[in-house]
């Protein structure tokens, strides 16, 4: 097996390993009670509001990742070079440009597909609602979707990002590992101090938590990187991070604050 083939295998399987390792880190942190002060929901709300068990979520994610592997290996087989000549890596500047293009393509695809799955009542009821059974998100539930949704949003979105950006299989290892880390982080349910992803991206765990609540179901569709399309198309719900009574944090929509203030006045 040549170097190129090795890169293709790594590009397929490394992001999956990253998913379980990074979500496993958050799972370990979840067991540290003193970190409850950084939770976006009280610990007891997970059992009360989520209608699926963690075991069911693990099995669902594994099914989606199996589809992801099949599509990835098929794609690499179709576009692969059988000459066994190592594909030359472009300059760092070109790689950064490819990252930017891939991020834009992925965000654009996922925003419109994600939003349509909310607008179309049939698709929401029979497909996308599966992800929303996790009202209180947690790390390894990031990819808990209906298999068809996983194929459309994540797998096809990833393939388009790879093809349009023109990145090499070796570059894809790093891009999709980063995208995986970002997706897991957005579902972690924690607002940890010093989280560099929160400093770099407005699309974060608090932003995405709004979307998982009933009042935010038609807002904050963007994922996994930026909030550009939400702001352009008027689906962005402003929010504030507030201390919750009893400890912890809460991502609270600004619109609700305004409404409550009006009632008080």
pLDDT band at 78; cut points 50, 70, 90: confident
Q: Is residue 218 predicted with pLDDT exceeding 50?
A: yes
- What would the pLDDT profile of 98-157 be if each residue is shown by its tens digit? 999 999 999 999 999 999 999 999 999 999 999 999 999 999 999 999 999 999 999 999
pLDDT at res. 263: 42
Rg (CA), the chain: 19
What residue segments make up the domains of the chain, in order of their start?
7-77+97-260
The rounded percent of the chain whose pLDDT value lies above 70 is 92
CA dihedral (147, 152, 155, 161) in degrees, to 10, reads: -170
The rounded percent of the chain whose pLDDT value lies above 90 is 80
pLDDT band at 84; cut points 50, 70, 90: low
b/e burial code for range 207-216 (CB count within 10 A of at least 16 → b): bbbbbbbeeb
- What would the pLDDT profile of 43-74 be if each residue is shown by its tens digit? 999 989 999 999 999 999 999 999 999 999 99
Q: What is the 3-state secondary structure (H, E, C) of the chain?
A: CCHHHHHHHHHHHHHHHHHHHHHHHHHHHHCCHHHHHHECCCHHHHHHHCCCCHHHHHHHHHHHHHHHHHHHHHHHHHHCCCCCCCCCCCCHHHHHHHHHHHHHHHHHHHHHHHHHHHHCHHHHHHCHHHHHHCCCCCHHHCCCCCHHHHHHHHHHHHHHHHHHHCCCHHHHHHHHHHHHHHHHHHCCCECCCCCHHHHHCCCCHHHHHHHHCHHHCCCCCCCCCCCHHHHHHCCCCCEEEEECCCCCEEEEEHHHHHHHHHHHC
Nearest to 210 by CA among 238, 229, 230: 238
């Amino acid at each position: 097996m040549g170097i190129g083939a090795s890169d293709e295998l790594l590009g397929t399987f490394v992001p999956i390993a990253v998913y379980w390792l990074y979500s496993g880190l958050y799972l370990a942190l979840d067991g540290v009670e003193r970190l409850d002060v950084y939770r976006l929901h009280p610990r007891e709300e997970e059992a009360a509001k989520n209608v699926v068990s963690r075991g069911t979520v693990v099995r669902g994610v594994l099914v989606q990742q199996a589809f992801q592997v099949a599509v990835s290996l098929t794609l690499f087989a179709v576009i692969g070079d059988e000459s066994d000549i190592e594909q030359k890596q472009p300059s760092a500047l070109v790689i950064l440009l490819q990252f930017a293009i891939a991020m834009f393509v992925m965000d654009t695809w996922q925003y419109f597909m994600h939003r349509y799955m909310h607008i179309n009542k049939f698709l929401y009821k029979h497909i996308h609602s599966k992800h929303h059974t996790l009202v209180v998100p947690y790390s390894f539930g990031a990819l808990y979707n209906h298999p068809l949704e996983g194929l459309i949003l994540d797998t096809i979105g990833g393939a388009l990002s790879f093809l349009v950006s023109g990145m090499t299989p070796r570059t894809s290892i790093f891009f999709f590992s980063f995208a995986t880390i970002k997706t897991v982080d957005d579902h972690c349910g924690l607002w940890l101090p010093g989280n560099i992803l929160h400093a770099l991206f407005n699309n974060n765990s608090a932003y995405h938590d709004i979307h998982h609540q009933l009042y935010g179901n038609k807002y904050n569709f963007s994922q996994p990187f930026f909030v550009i399309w939400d702001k352009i198309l008027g689906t962005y719900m402003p929010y504030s991070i507030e201390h919750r009574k009893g400890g912890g944090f809460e991502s609270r929509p600004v619109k609700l604050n305004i409404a409550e203030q009006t009632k008080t006045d």
